[in-house]
Amino acid sequence: MNKRLVVVQVVALFLALAPLLVLPSHATSTVVSIADTFMVTGGTASTHIMIHNVSYLGVADITLTFDPSVVHIVSLTASDFDLLLPVINNTAGTARLGGMDYGDGLYGNVTVAEVTVKAVGDHGELSGLNLSINELKEAGPEEIAIPATVDNGTAFINLPPVAIAATVHRYNNIGSMYPCSVLFSASASYDPDGDAITNYAWDFGDGHSGEGLHVEHGYSSSRWTGTYEPFEVSLTAEDEWGLIDTVFMPVHVFIAGDANGDGVVDIFDGVIVGLEWDTHCTGYGWSTDRSDQADLNNDCVIDIFDGVIVGANWDHLAG
Ligand SMILES: [Ca+2]
Ligand SMILES: [Ca+2]
Ligand SMILES: [Ca+2]
């Protein structure tokens, strides 16, 4: 087989397959979903049964099942359908929803119902919120079925913790010859229903991670793209029942000796160190960003050691 023929065949094959390769980016699939919900003991909370990415929807018949020893359904309201016929059975743990639209059909993301859930079990218990589709069809007389997938949820008798991350040093420098440890604290985090927080997981945004209420990390690189891109640090707090919350915090890392973050170590960095001379950390942090920037070795005081770092790195460039 000559090379030219092979090329022609490969091109023909590509052209034949091209529409298949493009198709998934245009296709939107219909999904029936219910989101997770969180309650205190004896309390109520609401979530929604939704039908996403639909067109010309006329009829939906959906069954929600749940564990009736953990949660009950109080009400099913606020439907986008003209008519919603809900049948709640808190003994069997089922709620059946029949929705009808008399008009030109429903499009886009449709709310089948706002679901109000009441906790009847104990703190820490949970129930699946599982959906099954009995019928989903278009508004026209042809009764064309709409294919759909299901995205189930969970009802928790527990509120997730609230992760709160703090750092003494929002401005930092690459520490190699001059150690520059960044101190992070999760101690302001809390759990709204009083559970113990059993784990604090940190991701420092540079491929390194840590665990604990207080952690320390030194950066060995900065991200220079004409300006410094901060590292995105995340803290994930987990309560004793396994619910989590994650919070993100940007942390700036400059090259050693660069106080003002312009990518070069020069007289302007020396000036900032001079202006902030003898300034100390106040509590857990600095009173101004400039003080934080002038503390080039993160020892919470601006003194001769910061001046030495500027001198030793004179003329260094981030790029
Ligand atoms: Ca909790
Ligand atoms: Ca500079
Ligand atoms: Ca210092």
Domain boundary among 131, 156, 181: 156
Note the pLDDT of residue 4: 52
What gap in Å lies between CA 138 and CA 103, rounded to an integer? 11
238 and 285 together in one domain: yes
Which ligand sits closest to the CA of 313? 2
Judgement on whether residues 192 and 213 belong to the same structural domain of the protein: yes
Q: What is the residue-wise DSSP string for the chain? A: --HHHHHHHHHHHHHHHHHHHHHHHH---EEEEE--EE--TT-EEEEEEEEEEEEEEEEEEEEEE--TTTEEEEEEE--SSSEEEEEEETTTTEEEEEEE--SS-EEEEEEEEEEEEEE-S-TT-EEEEEEEEEEEEESSTT-PBPPEEEE-EEEESSPPPB---EES-SEEE--SSS--EEEEE-TT-B-TT-PPEEEEEEE-SSS-EEESSEEEEE-S---BSSSBPPEEEEEEEEETTS-EEEEEEEEEEE-TT-SSSSSB-SHHHHHHHHHTTT-B--SSS-SSHHHHHH-TT-SSB-SHHHHHHHHHTTT-B--
Interval 5-25: pLDDT, tens: 444 454 454 445 444 444 444
Question: Does residue 174 share a domain with residue 140?
Answer: no
Determine the distance separating the centroid of ligand 1 and the alpha carbon of 123, expressed in angstroms: 9
Give the ligand whose atoms come closest to the C-alpha of residue 303: 3
In a domain, 25, yes or no: no
Q: Is residue 2 assigned to a domain?
A: no
Tell me, yes or no, whether 174 and 306 share the same domain: yes
By the CB criterion, residues less than 5 angstroms from ion ligand 2 are: 258, 260, 262, 269
* CATH assignment of the domain containing 294: 2.60.40.10
| pLDDT higher than 60, residue 65 | yes
CB neighbourhood size of 69 (10 A): 12
Please provide residue 169's backbone torsions phi and psi, each rounded to the nearest 5 degrees: -125, 100
Residue 174 has pLDDT above 80, yes or no: yes
Same domain, residue pair 143 and 172:
no
Q: Please tell me whether residues 180 and 145 are part of one structural domain.
A: no
- Of the listed ligands, the closest to the CA of 175 is 3
Ligand 2 centre to CA of 172 (Å) is: 13
Which tens digits make up the pLDDT trace of 267-299? 999 999 999 999 998 877 888 999 999 999 988
Judge whether 20 lies within some domain.
Answer: no
Instruction: Kindly state whether residues 174 and 308 are assigned to the same domain.
Output: yes
Could you count the other beta carbons within 10 Å of the beta carbon of residue 149?
11
Q: How many structural domains are present in the chain? A: 2
Strands 171-173 and 244-254: parallel
What is the pLDDT at residue 14?
47
Instruction: Please state, for a pLDDT cut of 70, what percent of the chain lies above it.
Output: 91
Separation of 245 CA from ligand 3 center, angstroms? 34
Nearest to 149 by CA among 136, 167, 166: 136
The CATH number of whichever domain residue 82 belongs to comes to: 2.60.40.680
128-145 pLDDT, tens digit each:
999 999 999 999 888 899
281, two tokens: 């950390």
Ligand nearest to the CA of 308: 3
Choosing from 134, 156, 178, the residue where a domain stops is: 156
Kindly state whether residue 11 falls inside one of the protein's structural domains.
no
64 bridge partner residues: 95, 131
Residue 74 lies in a domain: yes
Task: Return the ligand number nearest the Cα of 314.
Answer: 2
Do residue 242 and residue 292 come from a single domain?
yes
Residue 22 belongs to some domain of the structure? no
Full residue range of the structural domain in which residue 289 is found: 166-312
* Segment 45-68 mean pLDDT: 96
> Sorting pLDDT into bands at 50, 70 and 90, what band is 179?
confident
Confidence of residue 175 (pLDDT cuts 50, 70, 90): confident
- 12 is a domain residue: no
Residue 230 lies in a domain: yes
Q: Which of 138, 156, 174 is the last residue of a domain?
A: 156
Distance 269 CA to ligand 1 centre (A): 47
Asked if residue 308 and residue 172 are part of one domain, the reply reads: yes
Question: Which ligand neighbours the alpha carbon of 265 most closely?
Answer: 2
How much is the pLDDT for 140? 84
Cα 236 to ligand 1 centre (Å): 14
**Residues 174, 203 share a domain:** yes
Q: Same domain for 139 and 182?
A: no
173 and 272 belong to one structural domain = yes
Considering every ligand atom shown, identify the ligand nearest to the alpha carbon of residue 317 and give its number. 2
Q: Among all chains, which residue has been given the structure tokens 């420098």?
A: 173
Cα of 157 to ligand 3 centre, how many Å? Answer: 48
Give the mean pLDDT of the chain: 89
Residue 76: pLDDT band (50, 70, 90) is very high
Which residues surround the ion ligand 1 when the cut-off is CB under 5 Å? 158-159, 191, 193, 195, 239
